[in-house]
Amino acid sequence: MLDDTSRQIKILIIDDEKAVADVLKDFLSNFLSNNKEMLIDACYDGLAGIECIQKNFYDLIIVDLVMPRVGGLEILRYAKKSNPHVLVIIITGHASLETAVVAIKEGAYDYIRKPCKLEEIRIVVENAIDKIKLYRENRQLIKKLEDAYNELMVYKEKRDDDKKNP
């Protein structure tokens, strides 16, 4: 089994406004630059985003809500079907209570209104990365517990056999 804690955290940014996607990618690359465990991709429409999700495993997706052809909610649904543990942050200039509720019910990690402050993005992304790391550590600890339990059961069976056949 792959040690999840050593695997890169992969982030995908999807926004049909190329300038927004590039600014987010550059900003996240700069503030995460001391962390070599991060890989950040960007694409500029929903269909390209779906193709990226089909070809790669992402831990975190930042997606614009309103885009031509394929919007953020469709990407959220597709991403969650592909990887139920992916965290998806919806960003939008068309915020409404209705879309926020739908996004959160569909499994979005967060919902941010545009124009968003880069500091707000930084905090949300840092929290998401912490959650990803905790999830990975939890899975690794559960695996270690299962292995230890299995070893204990093998030892117990051997001991029981030794008692039956002295």
Q: Mean pLDDT for each 10-residue chunk of the chain (166 residues)?
A: 60 95 92 74 95 95 94 96 96 86 94 90 94 93 93 86 76
E-strand ranges in the chain read: 9-14, 38-43, 60-64, 87-92, 110-113
What distance separates the 2 farthest-apart alpha carbons in the chain? 77
pLDDT of residue 114: 87
Structure tokens at 27: 């900003």
- Conformation bin of residue 46: beta by default, left when phi > 0, alpha when psi is -120 to 50: alpha
pLDDT of residue 4: 47
